[in-house]
Amino acid sequence: MKRLNCILVAVALMVGGTAVGQINIPGGSIQKPPVPAAKQRQKPKKQARPKKQAQAKVKYYDVTFNCNAYDADLYIDGDYVGDANTIWTLKAGSHTVKVVTDYYNDYSTTVNVSGSNKSFDLTLTEKTDAESQYMLGINYYEGRSGFPQNYYDAAKRFLNAAIKGHATSQNWIGYCYAHGKGVTQNYTEAVKWYRKAAEQGNAAAQSHLGYCYDEGKGVTQNYTEAVKWYRKAAEQGYATAQNNLGYCYEAGNGVTQSYTEAVKWYRKAAEQGNAAAQNNLGLCYHKGNGVTQSFTEAVKWFRKAAEQGYADAQYNLGYCYDHGNGVTQSYTEAVKWYSKAAEQGNADAQNNLGLCYHKGNGVTQSFTEAVKWFRKAAEQGYATAQNNLGYCYYYGNGVTQSYTEAVKWYRKAAEQGNAAAQNNLGYCYEEGNGVTKSVTEAVKWYRKAAAQGDSDAKDNLRRLGY
């Protein structure tokens, strides 16, 4: 996704430039369904257990109960004593044992405690109603209420409830299929279950189904259908769908392009705290799309998203500090926010952090650190960073000088259409640095760069008489 970026272009000099790009669908991927709060079963007060009596003929044993249910309450001889999966000291003889828990059927039995009989299995059966199966699935998925996290067991319960028509479980099993959680990943199955839930009005499923149409996952890509389902969820106040519907208006996907409508939906989601929408609304203010341009408002929304850890917004906030847009210019703050985004793998931020180290802006100048960050972005296929890494190899900044490595990285960027890299690759061919000298190849790459308006390439062509 293109965003605000800072471009290093050079043959003999590092030249900074800026460009504002397009918005993609940050956070537009399938979102994890909302998780209900754990139900809090009212625990009865423990009854005091009789103390051991100093009678020679009365024996007590440490008894182990092995219960297959988690977070289960144990009653012994009518008294609540605590968790079922615990060792308890009991008098030899017969005891009535009862286990009570939320999502299993109650269990009662009689045990006879003796020196050779001190361990008992308490096997409960699950409640089969849809709501109980759903809650069991949630507990297994999240690993809460004493349950071990187990996606297979979660998916199994979601499917049990989904088959019974439980809409939230239908959405969850769809999510499991979409992400391969406890089942083999299968978008066709995901769409099947999302649709069942969506048709019952489940907003999360409507949003997820819209995403599948948007991306062509499990269905033929269809922006009109994507908008249809996003809108249904958005009108229920589902923030992810509001953000994605905003993007559809921004890009004109499935609807008539409208920045005004885009801003409307971004704002609805942003005001609910959706980080992707906050970032996108910030971009609208930064570029003046659908609103009066305001760097101050842009920074406000970038900051809200950045403080939630949203990498794109951290990069954009760093850019604003780098250039003094809506804030007092500060390379130190720029580096702070670039670093946060870069450490999350944001290629734009990695490239710009590399530039800060290369130029000593907000940090102690270090070509070695610059190369480190350029390389991280370059290895993600980021063309500007590939050109910058090529530049470092060309001049030996932070690496052993190597025209061959320079050409390698210039070529990667040039083949993606990066004009600065095309010009630099042309120069390598003209001089025979890292490649066999060839004016024909030099002119070829100069022309590609010049066609994009690169002034250095135009000068180079004129110098060669073209």
pLDDT in tens, 175-229: 999 999 999 999 999 999 999 999 999 999 999 999 999 999 999 999 999 999 9
SS3 of 17, please?
Answer: strand
CA distance 394 to 401: 6
**Would strands 60-67 and 87-91 be described as parallel, antiparallel, or unpaired?**
antiparallel
Looking at 122, 149, 166, the residue that finishes a domain is 122
Domain contains 42? no
- Asked if the model's pLDDT at residue 263 lies above 60, the reply is yes
CA 35 centroid distance within chain: 17
- Asked if the model's pLDDT at residue 148 lies above 60, the reply is yes
pLDDT digits (tens, 9 = 90+) for 334-354: 999 999 999 999 999 999 999
SS3 of 16, please?
Answer: strand
> What pLDDT shows up at residue 271?
98
* CB neighbours of residue 188 within 10 Å: 11
Domain contains 86? yes
Radius of gyration of the chain (CA): 31
> What pLDDT shows up at residue 56?
56
> What pLDDT shows up at residue 71?
87
DSSP track, 174-204: HHHHHHTSSS---HHHHHHHHHHHHTTT-HH
Helix axis angle, 223-234 to 203-215, nearest 10°: 160
Domain contains 350? no
The set of residues, in sequence order, having a beta carbon less than 8 Å from that of 156 and lying 6+ positions away, is: 137, 182
Looking at 106, 122, 138, the residue that finishes a domain is 122
> What pLDDT shows up at residue 57?
74
Judged by phi (left if over 0) then psi (alpha if -120 to 50, else beta), residue 146 lies in: left
The set of residues, in sequence order, having a beta carbon less than 8 Å from that of 52 and lying 6+ positions away, is: 58, 60, 89
* Nearest Cα residue to 405 out of 420, 389, 426: 389
- Asked if the model's pLDDT at residue 315 lies above 80, the reply is yes
- Structural domain total, the chain: 2
Amino acid (one-letter) located at 38: A
> What pLDDT shows up at residue 417?
98
Question: Residue 96's beta-bridge partner residues?
Answer: 110
Domain contains 312? no
pLDDT digits (tens, 9 = 90+) for 436-451: 999 999 999 999 999 9
Mean pLDDT, the chain, whole residue set: 91
Mean pLDDT of 249-271: 98
pLDDT digits (tens, 9 = 90+) for 24-76: 333 445 566 766 665 555 666 655 555 555 555 789 999 999 999 998 999 99
What is the per-residue burial (b if ≥16 Cβ within 10 Å, else e) of 373-384? bbbbbbeeebbb
CA distance 214 to 34: 21
CA 230 centroid distance within chain: 19
pTM given for the model: 0.84
Query: For residue 117, what are the domain limits?
Result: 60-122
Domain contains 65? yes
CA 124 centroid distance within chain: 38
Looking at 103, 122, 141, the residue that finishes a domain is 122
pLDDT digits (tens, 9 = 90+) for 381-433: 999 999 999 999 999 999 999 999 999 999 999 999 999 999 999 999 999 99
> What pLDDT shows up at residue 44?
60
* Nearest Cα residue to 159 out of 193, 185, 200, 126: 193
pLDDT digits (tens, 9 = 90+) for 5-38: 333 433 332 333 333 333 333 344 556 676 666 5
Q: H or E segment at 58? A: none
> What pLDDT shows up at residue 38?
57
CA distance 364 to 358: 9
In this prediction, what percent of the chain has a pLDDT beyond 70? 88
Domain contains 117? yes
Across the chain, how many H-helices and E-strands are there? 19, 9
In this prediction, what percent of the chain has a pLDDT beyond 90? 86
